[in-house]
Structure 1
Amino acid sequence: MRDFNIIQLKNKKDRANYIYHLLNDIKALDLMIERGLIEEGSLRVGAEQEFCLVNEQFLPENKSLELLEAINDDHFTTEIGNYNLEINLDAQDLKGDCFSKMYNQLKSLLEKAGEEASKKGINIILTGILPSLTVKNADEQNMTEVERYAVLNNALKSHRRQNFDIHIKGVDELNLLSDSVMLEGCNTSFQMHLQVGPNNFIDNYNWAQAISGPILSACTNSPLLFGQELWMETRIALFTQSVDTRANSFLLNEKQSRVSFGNRWQTGSITDIFKDNISRFRSFMTTGFIKDSIEMLNRGEVPKLRALGIHNSTVYPWNRVCYGVMDGKPNLRIENRYIPSGPTIKDEIANLMFWVGVMLGKPKKYENIHDQWDFKDVKTNFFNAARYGMATQFYWDGKYVSSFDLIVNELLPMAYKGLYKVGILPQDAEYYLKIIKNRVHNNNGSEWITRNYRSLLKNHKRYEAMQVLTASMYEKQQKGYPVSTWGMLHHSTESRFKDQRVVKHIMSSDIFSVRKKDSVELVLNIMKWKNIHHMPVIDGNRKLIGLISWNDVKDYLEIPKKLNSSVGSVMKTDIITTEEYTPAKEAKALMEQHGIGSLPVVNQGELIGLITLNDF
């Protein structure tokens, strides 16, 4: 979808023309498979590296287009979030030192980007979800100003016809409504491609599904979103919900999401996978540059199947089938979309090698796995891995086994076998697979993030902890050592960002509030129980309507008759407030100017936090 202009399907003529080409592409793919035109013997690997841009305070920096222009390299392209970019690595023949070549190219390209970024006060970070992201970064104002993203956003919104409802429950819980698809931009991944011949494609695809859970468990790197500790790989839940075009209903809805692991094994032809997607998900984009694929075949040309490519780019299975053309030859690939970006380049190449090795090292006993295993067990394995990472218990080959035991005792030996079979250099296989082994013995990215985030919260408010954590990740990545070697952070209680503090750094967001109909007696008891001196008063929409302090009601303790008075009768309604991105120094000056001990923090009138003089 990156090499041609995209427009939204709006009228009957455009829709009919697009459907004509889409159906022709399916026919053409069937014909190419039938005639043996799809490349069979060659094995290749490729990858796409998404990464985040942050400023010198390690907060998201919306300068992707500016940086892209400065880099001036066709390997780089945009992402939907203006604080993200992507690198498309060159495909490599799967042999010899191909993984070292990919490492060297990726390292070189990231260094090139880093040099240009540093001139603009930008740092580059590899992570599945940037820890310092806030809800503010996930609105349409942060969308990259490229037409196809606006088209995609408008099309998905019009298809859903209601806000996107995000509800993710982990250690913490996130409930959020979004009026755009920009929450999808919070996800950054390391997408891995393996070219597979058509003859055994379906069996290989099913095997890719079967191993997804165990592979993911070793690679999780996205446990935080907006400061909430959710799934070990929160991207899986967030991406599913952020582009879900299924509207909520009182009726039971069994439609499949555009982001999906699937509901069953594949047992038909390769084109049946595309046909199923076309049957389930309507097209809403097209381009004016589509050639007739059947006519191209009849002329002896190789079609690019652009209509099919456009549709495929709006359906997001975690293992996606892709068609492409390389050196004039059509090919088929399995795209692994569930692996997060980071924590380091070495970790990412190790993830790629681990996955490819297990794909190629499949023992004979797992052939035709769809006849042996229940697909729901495999799907359960995948989502359990996303939730629990290395703590997952998998149902594998008829018994429960821990992630550690499965990886160390079965999958790593399998990966070595698969890599040696295609002639990967033994020293490369040993080097990168040892990174996986060390990781499962020590910690992966998610484990390192959660342990250090919890530690930081002992001395920092949430927003500040998110920022310190992001800065620490950057420093670790710059050294280049795999995440298994990263230890606990040694930090002082003094924040490194003290001079740049805003209200969000110091405010309390877990605040106790009351309604105006509540009694003064209840307020007094809550204040005593929680040792607090100020309580905001909110309405049913969490809008701030008043403030009540201990000094306002403490005398009521001596007058029992007044304890039943309503909060509304004693609260102050002339309230001084601030916003979350107001500099902390300004907020303190405001409190001193008005002689107040607390300052509610609001966003469009809605209460989101509270600061007191003790917070400075």
Structure 2
Amino acid sequence: MLDDRAFETGIRRIGAEQEMFLVNEAWRPLGAALDILEELEGPFTTELALYNLEANLEPRELEGRCFRDMEVRLNELVDHAREAANRRGAEIALTGILPTLSKSDVTLENITPRTRYHALNEAFAKARGGEPYKLRIQGSDELYTEHESVMLESCNTSFQVHLQVEPDEFATLYNIAQLVTAPVMAAAVNSPILFGKLLWDETRIALFQQSIDTRRGSVHVRDLSPRVRFGEEWVSNGLIDLLQEDVTRFRVLLTREVTEDPIALLDSGQMSTLQALTLHNGTVYRWNRPCWGVKDGVAHVRIECRVLPSGPTIVDEVANAAFWIGFVLGGVEEYGDIRSRIDFADAKSNFLAAARNGLKAGFRWLDGRSRSAPHLIIEEALPIAQAGLADAGVDPGDIERYLGIIRDRVKSETTGARWIVRSLRGMQGQGSKSERLAAITAGTVRRQMEGSPCHTWDDADIDESGGWKLTYERVEQLMTTTLFTVHEEELVDMVAFMMSRNRIRHVLVEDDAHKLVGIVSYRSVLRLMAEGFEGSVDTAPPVHEIMERDPLTVAPETPTLKAIDLMRENRVSCLPVVSDDRLVGIVTETDFMPLAYDLLEERLGS
């Protein structure tokens, strides 16, 4: 098809895919996608999880007021989805990672019941040889956890932008797209929180790669490429370079019945949709992914930018799209062939720096120059993007509107990620963590509906959470996850020291595999002292002699009221929280004190 010049030329089109979260009245994920889709007409479809939806925007030519038209159409689609969601007691949230997501949400109970999604989960599990997915991301906080299914991928939602290109220009445009991804993403970051942890400014990048990584652990050093990838080198020979690499590097994960003979179709003068290759390409997740399609018997090639997050608002998303498209097209004219001007490793490092640090990132740019993200964007990237859009015939008013949003966002240093972090820090000491995360989500949705770009937003307020009733529904919303534990062979004086230093009344006992085997309470230590123990190392018994074995436990998703009933019925002051036989937290009487304060204020105030 490439040799025969079977792909469309002489026209430039753009398109997009809008992913979104469904949330309930507590601003937590709601698995209602199938019910909502029954009420929707138009280009809506399912995603991996029941709390996600996707809308596919119709392609449009890159000219005139195409970006304004894109914004109008996206608003129509999201409003349509929101109306259907509201009728089901749900709301739409546009955000890279939903702040209120918890690990108990990303289970197979929430997978969309479609053959493709179950097949994908089984294929990834088989490729990993049954090993759990290991997720480790270091930011302001550290997240280190394991998971048994592909459902971690459902934590991500994005705004994927498509740019139609010609095969003869593919290599140059694709390399420029790779280069400019870092500064564009630095201005667009919107995903700083995962499972309550502050991580990267665009945590989606690390999460997506690790959530569907098919590589197994090995004691030997072997270079295995992740299926989610930025790439390893500049493209030299066009689209065929990437396709051949992906076919030879990655095993087939999914199969389907192929209903066409592509060679026979081409010989007869018809176009093939390349069904098998398209299916394989859909399981290799390049951040800038080559794509192709056939419409009305005409084939085309496009580049899909997958790095941009959903949100903070539709106008922000369209601004991000205009910035990326303009910078790619303008970059070709400004930079030309960049392969000798910057090492690919530097472009890849820039990409990771932008994901980690957003506008605080520093880049090693063309010809060895070092540039900070804000200076590069304001002084170089935006003028080049403006020229690229102008040369494509985009309306000058649209260019100023959308690139002006990027300029003002960068100058104010207020990306979606920075707004979230700033709002959280402003609420420090107010309410519980779950209330603060709910306030962030509620505040995001309310400001999205107002439609102003995120750099104009005021900070979220704790009152936006909807109150304590909605944020204390499950144990995981109030449990303590910073745990102090001991091994059963350690001495009791270590327990007493932990309790005194950290002002806690319970110390959990784990074995070598981090499984809960017992608990030592403050009362147990007092009883030991009453029996004559004076704290001497020489006379201190091991923990296993005084600990309570096999303590009563609950799961993270246990309703709070049930946990309270268990504590009352069994006359215990704490409940260890266990998931998959692993200790993940503890809930104590102290954790209910903020709730008691709020309840007293509410009752006495009324």
User: What TM-score bracket applies, with the shorter chain setting the length?
Assistant: over 0.9
Residue in 2 that maps onto 1:19? none
Residue in 2 that maps onto 1:432? 402
Residue 593 of structure 1, CA deviation: 4.5
Residue in 2 that maps onto 1:483? 454
Q: How does 1:262-301 map to 2 (within 5 A)?
A: 262-301=231-270
Change (3 A) 1:385 1:515: same
Number of residue pairs the alignment of both structures matches: 584
Q: 3-state DSSP class of the match of 1:526?
A: helix
Residue in 1 that maps onto 2:109? 141
Residue 453 of structure 1, CA deviation: 2.5
Residue in 1 that maps onto 2:542? 566
- Give TM-score scaled by structure 2 length: 0.92
Residue in 2 that maps onto 1:183? 152
Change (3 A) 1:468 1:240: same
Q: 1:465 aligned to 2:439?
A: no
Q: 3-state DSSP class of the match of 1:200?
A: helix
Letter in 2 for 1:63: A
Structure 1 distance, partners of 2:550, 2:237, is: 69
Contact 2:434 / 2:471 at 8 angstroms: preserved in 1?
A: no
Q: 1:153 aligned to 2:121?
A: yes
Q: 1:506 aligned to 2:478?
A: yes
Q: 1:314 aligned to 2:314?
A: no
Q: How does 1:170-249 map to 2 (within 5 A)?
A: 170-249=139-218
Contact 2:533 / 2:540 at 8 angstroms: preserved in 1?
A: no
Contact 2:439 / 2:460 at 8 angstroms: preserved in 1?
A: no
Change (3 A) 1:197 1:56: same
Contact 2:100 / 2:434 at 8 angstroms: preserved in 1?
A: yes
Residue in 2 that maps onto 1:52? 21
Q: Deviations over 1:422-465 (max 9, x none)?
A: 11111111111111111112200111112223344422333333
Give ranges in structure 2 of 5+ residues lacking alignment.
Answer: 593-606
Residue in 2 that maps onto 1:333? 302
Structure 1 distance, partners of 2:540, 2:41, is: 70
Residue 349 of structure 1, CA deviation: 0.4
Q: 1:579 aligned to 2:555?
A: yes
Letter in 2 for 1:454: R
Q: 3-state DSSP class of the match of 1:537?
A: strand
Residue 555 of structure 1, CA deviation: 5.6
Residue 100 of structure 1, CA deviation: 1.0
Contact 2:436 / 2:462 at 8 angstroms: preserved in 1?
A: no
Structure 2 distance, partners of 1:165, 1:592, is: 37
Contact 1:461 / 1:507 at 8 angstroms: preserved in 2?
A: no
Residue 159 of structure 1, CA deviation: 1.7
Contact 1:43 / 1:194 at 8 angstroms: preserved in 2?
A: yes
Residue in 1 that maps onto 2:274? 305
Contact 2:104 / 2:557 at 8 angstroms: preserved in 1?
A: no
Instruction: Pick from 366, 388, 391 the counterpart of residue 421 of structure 1.
Output: 391
Residue 62 of structure 1, CA deviation: 1.0
Residue 365 of structure 1, CA deviation: 4.9
Change (3 A) 1:363 1:319: closer
Structure 1 distance, partners of 2:203, 2:396, is: 34
Letter in 2 for 1:170: G
Contact 1:114 / 1:123 at 8 angstroms: preserved in 2?
A: yes
Q: 3-state DSSP class of the match of 1:368?
A: coil
Higher mean alpha-carbon deviation, 526-535 vs 90-99, is at 526-535
Cα root mean square deviation, aligned: 1.9
Q: Deviations over 1:82-105 (max 9, x none)?
A: 111111101000000111111111
Structure 2 distance, partners of 1:485, 1:118, is: 27
Residue 563 of structure 1, CA deviation: 4.8
Structure 2 distance, partners of 1:116, 1:220, is: 29
Residue 574 of structure 1, CA deviation: 6.3
Q: Deviations over 1:547-588 (max 9, x none)?
A: 222222136556335851111111223634333333434433
Structure 1 distance, partners of 2:225, 2:297, is: 35
Change (3 A) 1:545 1:464: farther
Contact 1:461 / 1:508 at 8 angstroms: preserved in 2?
A: no
Q: 3-state DSSP class of the match of 1:389?
A: helix
Letter in 2 for 1:485: T
Residue 612 of structure 1, CA deviation: 2.6
Residue in 1 that maps onto 2:380? 410
Change (3 A) 1:281 1:384: same
Q: Deviations over 1:41-95 (max 9, x none)?
A: 100000001111111111111111121121132x111111111111110100000
Residue in 2 that maps onto 1:132? 100
Residue 109 of structure 1, CA deviation: 0.9
Q: 1:102 aligned to 2:70?
A: yes
Higher mean alpha-carbon deviation, 363-372 vs 456-465, is at 456-465
Contact 1:520 / 1:563 at 8 angstroms: preserved in 2?
A: no
Letter in 2 for 1:361: G
Contact 2:439 / 2:463 at 8 angstroms: preserved in 1?
A: no
- Give TM-score scaled by structure 1 length: 0.91
Residue in 1 that maps onto 2:83? 115
Higher mean alpha-carbon deviation, 553-562 vs 118-127, is at 553-562
Higher mean alpha-carbon deviation, 496-505 vs 127-136, is at 496-505
Structure 2 distance, partners of 1:180, 1:591, is: 32
Q: 1:521 aligned to 2:489?
A: no
Residue 594 of structure 1, CA deviation: 4.4
Letter in 2 for 1:551: R
Structure 2 distance, partners of 1:205, 1:604, is: 44
Structure 2 distance, partners of 1:489, 1:284, is: 43
Change (3 A) 1:364 1:96: closer
Contact 2:8 / 2:298 at 8 angstroms: preserved in 1?
A: yes
Residue 367 of structure 1, CA deviation: 0.7
Change (3 A) 1:179 1:578: closer
Structure 2 distance, partners of 1:246, 1:231, is: 23
Structure 2 distance, partners of 1:214, 1:331, is: 28
Residue in 1 that maps onto 2:365? 396
Q: Deviations over 1:212-247 (max 9, x none)?
A: 111110011111111111111111111111111121
Residue in 1 that maps onto 2:50? 82
Residue in 1 that maps onto 2:336? 367
Letter in 2 for 1:609: G
Higher mean alpha-carbon deviation, 503-512 vs 242-251, is at 503-512
Residue 614 of structure 1, CA deviation: 2.5
Change (3 A) 1:419 1:581: same
Change (3 A) 1:493 1:413: closer
Contact 1:459 / 1:493 at 8 angstroms: preserved in 2?
A: no
Residue in 2 that maps onto 1:21? none
Structure 2 distance, partners of 1:478, 1:226, is: 25
Higher mean alpha-carbon deviation, 432-441 vs 87-96, is at 432-441
Letter in 1 for 2:588: T
Instruction: Pick from 550, 553, 573 the counterpart of residue 597 of structure 1.
Output: 573
Letter in 1 for 2:502: K
Give ranges in structure 1 of 5+ residues lacking alignment.
Answer: 1-31
**Poorly superposed stretches of 4+, deviation over 6 Å:** none
Contact 1:591 / 1:598 at 8 angstroms: preserved in 2?
A: yes
Change (3 A) 1:461 1:500: closer
Structure 2 distance, partners of 1:503, 1:288, is: 46
Contact 1:521 / 1:563 at 8 angstroms: preserved in 2?
A: no
Change (3 A) 1:485 1:190: same
Residue 331 of structure 1, CA deviation: 0.9
Contact 1:217 / 1:390 at 8 angstroms: preserved in 2?
A: yes
Instruction: Pick from 501, 505, 514 the counterpart of residue 542 of structure 1.
Output: 514
Contact 1:59 / 1:132 at 8 angstroms: preserved in 2?
A: yes
Q: 3-state DSSP class of the match of 2:339?
A: helix
Instruction: Pick from 509, 514, 523 the counterpart of residue 551 of structure 1.
Output: 523
Q: 3-state DSSP class of the match of 1:361?
A: helix
